[in-house]
Amino acid sequence: MKRRAHLCCLGLLLSLVAACGEGPDAESQSSPAASPSAGELNLYNWSDYIAPDTLRAFERETGIHVRYDVFDSNELLEAKLLAGGTGYDLVVPSASFVARQITAGVFQPLDKTRLPGMTGLDPAVMKLLAGYDPENRHALPWLWGTTGIGYNRGMITSRMADAPLDSWDLVFKPEVVSRFADCGVALLDTPSEILPLVLRFLGRPVDSQRPEDLAAAEAVLMAIRPHVRYFHSSQYINDLANGGICLVVGWNGDILMARERAREATEPQDIAYSIPREGSLVWVDTIAIPRDAPNLDNAYRFLEYILRPEVAAALSNHVHYANAIAASQPLLDEALREDPAVYPAPDTLTALFPNAVHTAAFDRLASRAWARIKRGQ
């Protein structure tokens, strides 16, 4: 919003400049008066979460000028949405956050008659999403993925030849994970993702809101805490790629991005991703229209545009996350389509589970426990 204020000032300044003489750059700036008659679209998305040509092709085709801003946490997006008046026409929150935001009245229901492309959406993903957004009334899937273990094969096997690479034992058993403390272990900095995984490791119900289950999960994390180097939700991409860490609980696409960078590095590293056999989290990021979106028609045009198989395929090919458009499959790079880290094998799929939505009281308990875990006492 701060940046938006700057843009306003810029727009004012530009119109002054334009009055004195037509500046050559006037059109490329975000002054509303300078854009073509089709108007504009304000899109707020995760960083590194779009293909290079997605927006350009849309602008060429429709004449709509897209203002594209990025964020790097669901919490940040949520704070803006709850404050209201974001000025965005489309935002990309994760499904587990969408449920709460719908209750808060942040989004408007979709007019499905304007989205004929919705028939191409994968029913399995839509069913998963309906757990957060009943009858899929408010949100479309953007991309989906899993949470799992990323590791540096060479560093792990040299420290433990028979490391349980396909099990949560690798991370949550102190006697195992302690062997990798020296080469660096990292966890996502989100209690809402790590705690259900620990509950699954313990064989307890993953959607539990009972304080004793939380306490048991906390005890597991406290026991491995001395061997964890840091908690962070994006820094591990670089560190895994350049050998700064060797083991991380993170998101599949990010770990695949690290794998790609590691191959190009001066000292190539062999990075792999594994979904433990006990099962792990599957999540969907969604795209939805805030209630106060200023350019509603353009928002629908963009939604219809990203429902096209070729657009969805280009998106997945670039960011290494799976999309929900069934017809995009043949257009995907073969390596991506065949990669079980992106499109898991059927028996892995059955072991995946979505994140539950918790009460505010439980969230507070969990974030309090998380603070204790990070502190290590």
Partner 1 sequence: MSRGWLWLCWIWPLGLLLLPLVIVLRISLAEPRLAQPPYSPLWDVSADGAVSIDLHLDNYRLLLEDPLYVQAWLDSLGLAAGTALLCLVLAYPMAWAIAASPPRRRRLFLLLVMLPFWTSLLLRIYAWMGLLAPQGMLSQALLRLGVTEAPLAVLHSPTAVFIGMVYAYLPFMLLPIHASLDKLDPQLLEAAADLGCRPWQAFLRVALPLSLPGVLGGTVLVFVPALGEFVIPDLLGGPGSLLLGQVLWNEFFANRAWPVAAALALTLLGSMALFLLTWQFLQRRLGALA
Neighbours of 18 (CB within 10 A): 14
Position among 10, 12, 70, 82 found at the interface with partner 1 (CB under 8 A): 82
Task: Check binding of 78 to partner 1 (CB under 8 A).
Answer: yes
Residue 149 or 188: the one with the smaller Cβ distance to partner 1 is: 188
Number of chain positions touching partner 1 (CB under 8 A): 31
- CB contact at 8 A, 373 and 221: yes
Neighbours of 145 (CB within 10 A): 23
Task: Check binding of 8 to partner 1 (CB under 8 A).
Answer: no
| CA 177 – CA 107 distance, rounded (Å) | 43
Residues 6 or more apart whose CB falls under 8 angstroms from that of 152 comprise 183, 240, 243, 245, 246, 247, 262, 269, 270, 271
Q: Which stretch binds partner 1 (CB under 8 A): 147-155, 278-286, 322-330, 363-371?
A: 363-371
Q: Which stretch binds partner 1 (CB under 8 A): 42-50, 159-167, 171-179, 237-245?
A: 237-245
Handedness of CA 200, 276, 76, 297 (dihedral sign): negative
| CA 165 – CA 169 distance, rounded (Å) | 8
Task: Check binding of 368 to partner 1 (CB under 8 A).
Answer: yes
Residue 14 or 102: the one with the smaller Cβ distance to partner 1 is: 102
The 8-class DSSP code of residue 168 comes to: T
Task: Check binding of 243 to partner 1 (CB under 8 A).
Answer: yes
CA angle 258, 262, 263 (to 5 degrees): 125
> To the nearest whole angstrom, how small is the minimum distance from the Cβ of residue 93 to partner 1?
13
Helices 309-319 and 296-306, interaxial angle, to 10°?
80
Site map for partner 1, 194-233, x if CB under 8 A?
A: ----------------------------------xxxx--
Task: Check binding of 350 to partner 1 (CB under 8 A).
Answer: no
Position among 56, 137, 277, 364 found at the interface with partner 1 (CB under 8 A): 364
CA angle 352, 353, 355 (to 5 degrees): 140
Site map for partner 1, 86-105, x if CB under 8 A?
A: --------------x--xxx
Residues 6 or more apart whose CB falls under 8 angstroms from that of 266 comprise none
Site map for partner 1, 249-268, x if CB under 8 A?
A: --------------------
Point out which residues bind partner 1 (CB under 8 A): 73, 75-76, 78-79, 81-84, 100, 103-106, 191, 228-231, 242-244, 360, 363-364, 367-368, 371, 374-376
